[in-house]
Structure 1
Amino acid sequence: MLTSDDLAFFAVVADSGSLAEAARKLNVTPPAVSQRLMALEARIGMRLLERTGRRSTLTDEGALVASHGRMVAEAIEALTEALGDRKSRVSGHLRVAAPHGFGRLHVAPVAEAFARAHEGVTISLELSDHPGAQVLESCDVVVHIGPPGPLSQVVTTLAPNRRLLCASPAYLEQNEAIAAPEDLARHRCLVVRENDEDVTLWRFSRRRHEPATVRIRPAMSSNDGAVVRDWALAGMGIAIRSEWHVAEDLAQGRLRQVLPEWELPPADVVAMLGVRRGRSARTTAFVAMLRQALNPAPWRQAKEATGRHQ
């Protein structure tokens, strides 16, 4: 017979990339996880994980146990939270995912403030290159920059964020002038490669003009936006970067906006919430605090402050 502890244990194992990762989450050793898993499988007489070298995949029975484990864990969390609501307390474990750079600069301080304000809450903040809707199964809040995928999820906008075409003054002074989007095809372009997005097709719009699309040939590319920004600062070419990431560089003159009269598709900062977790009191409270911290957008405040002191 399976117990609630068994279900909670296996839900952690199923949501981890390896037994070592599960051990870290459970604060035990990898051999302890392996032994408990084998004992569980022996007790129910079924294989829950297929192990091939360091890789593990769920069997059909394992997927069934994992799904029930998640439901039990969520039911326990919901009950704990409902009892906490009767005491006017926000409690439980909050799981947040965010992009590396933005998460360190803007989400981590809010997580710290939230933990100070709500002693009954524990927080996990996972930073990755491009967190998206696929991590909603294991997170309460996913902070995402850009349009979310077309999935059935709760999405709320936290702050506006434009995408800007920019380059260093040195690059612009040493190369052919850029008067229209089509001129970019003759320049060194720097791109951030994200998922399967076509990053070589740059789209522009302008009031009272037809939209323009340009197929560029990347001179350099990386999956890390900070690296591409550094290349742009070093004069290696022209890049599209988020306003939050380069606002200070533009205000200080380290970068210049290229074709400022043309607009790129925006990449607003949004919070994606799991359908069930979207109603969580701790999730609602955290998103409210995060929105307050980002309103007005800090990157636009910095630009305005620089303008006033010039």
Structure 2
Amino acid sequence: MADSGDIRFLLAIRDGGSLLVAARKLGVTPSAVTQRLQQLEKKLSVRLIDRTARRLRLTPEGELLCQRGGDLVQQFDALFDELRHHSAELVGTLKVNAPLGFGRRHLASVVADFQQANPDIDIALTLSDQPLAETIDRFDVVVHIGELQISNLVGHAVAPNARFVCASPAFVKRHGMPASPDDLARLPCIVLRENNEDVSLWHFSRGQTSRSVRVSSKLSCNDGDVIRQWARAGRGVILRSEWDVAEDLAAGKLVRLLPAWKTPDANVVALTHNRAGLPARIRHFTQYLQERFRPSPPWRK
């Protein structure tokens, strides 16, 4: 079967009127043109050009291939021009996936504002407690918080986000303030189940010193809002993102524990399948997302 490249090759011979002219047009040697023509005729099991004449003459089969194939090449070119034009415009459907809590509190308004500013784009926002466990190929952009384990996705930095160990003032009054991460092993803790991570192993660092503590949890949930409510009710210690607990810390509903010890950051990133060749709607949404969280995210204002 001939492909569009074969058809373009034969059209170059027809338009040039000779193998020599076709070779110049294609930027190859005349012998290369002859060899490719022979290969094409062999592949199709048909003679395309009558070489006995003083001037090259297409056989009826050659004429048919040029005529019908030329129409197909024009259709291909028109299709690809339309695709390039479509890709450069802010049109089409944008599929976004994000964590439940962050999506509700910080992303939903950004998505709605972007769509309002770009009315020819349809946006389908999916919120999930395990966004990376979803079928990634279903989405154009995946908003992720924390360390990224998947290497075939491209990360675009959106916003900084620390993680804090917190408890209610009543809990601290009842159990005392822990002096080191090791003290957490004896305290009731609450964990968030997400992305199939080992959620009961908490890591800390202070300078060159590192600690990892296996906490004991009688309460766990896959919804961050729920474990934050439990913590405010005095049911245990939580390790949560700064974006989630900043308001409660400022209002005194939660108290930060072990402020001298740092836990691993969980920065916000937007994941796409590649960096080059992205449709305009994906590129512009990613840039819009970054701009909405600059110069500082809302949880640091």
**The two structures share one fold, judged by TM-score above 0.5:** yes
Distance of 2:217 and 2:276 partners within structure 1: 40
Gaps of 5+ in 1: 1-76, 302-310
1:82 aligned residue = 84
The match for 2:105 is 105
Q: 2 CA distance for matches of 1:149 and 1:109?
A: 28
SS in 2 for 1:111: helix
Asked whether the 8 Å contact 1:81–1:281 carries over to 2, the reply is no
Deviations 1:96-122 (A, max 9, x none): 011112112222111111112112211
> In terms of Rg, which structure is larger?
2
1:138/1:277 CA distance change after superposition, 3 Å: farther
Alpha-carbon contact 2:177-2:257 (below 8 Å) kept: no
**Residues 195-230 of structure 1, C-alpha deviations (whole Å, 9 max, x = no match):** 3311121110012x4101111111211111111101
Counterpart in the other structure of 1:115: 115
User: What are the ranges of 5 or more consecutive residues in structure 2 without an aligned counterpart?
Assistant: 1-78
1:266–1:222 distance in 2 versus 1, CA, 3 Å: same
SS of aligned partner of 1:211: strand
Contact 1:90 1:282 in 2 (8 A): yes
SS, match of residue 90 in structure 1: coil
Distance 2:111 2:83 in 1: 19
Q: CA RMSD in A?
A: 2.1
Name segments (4+ residues, structure 1) moved above 3 Å: 77-81
| Kept after mapping to 2: 8 A contact 1:165/1:259 | yes
SS in 1 for 2:97: strand
Cα distance change of structure 1 residues 256 and 119 upon mapping to structure 2, 3 Å threshold: same
Which residue of structure 2 aligns with residue 202 of structure 1? 202
Q: 1:203 to 1:192 in 2, by over 3 A?
A: same
Partner residue in 1 for 2:15? none
In the TM superposition, residue 79 of structure 1 has moved relative to its aligned partner by 6.4
Provide the secondary structure at the position in 2 that maps to 1:109: helix
Tell me what 1:142 maps to: 142
| Separation in structure 2 between the aligned mates of residue 110 and residue 277 of structure 1, nearest angstrom | 24
**CA shift for structure 1 position 82:** 2.3
How do 1:170-181 and structure 2 match up within 5 A? 170-181=170-181
Q: 2:81, 2:103 → 1: CA distance?
A: 30
Report the secondary structure of 1:98's partner residue: strand
Give the 3-state SS of the residue equivalent to 1:174 in structure 2: helix
Once the two structures are overlaid, the 10-residue window that deviates more, 246-255 or 187-196, is: 187-196
The residue type equivalent to 1:229 in the other structure is: R
Q: Indicate conservation of the 8 Å contact 1:81/1:92, yes or no.
A: no
2:215 paired residue number: 216
The one-letter amino acid paired with 1:299 is W
Local SS of the residue matching 1:231:
helix
Q: CA deviation at 1:130?
A: 2.2
**Match of 1:274, as an amino acid?**
H
- TM-score (ref. length: structure 2): 0.70
SS, match of residue 147 in structure 1: coil
Name the amino acid aligned to 1:164.
Answer: F
Check conservation: 1:192, 1:223, Cα contact below 8 A: yes
Q: Distance in 2 between matches of 1:260 and 1:134?
A: 35
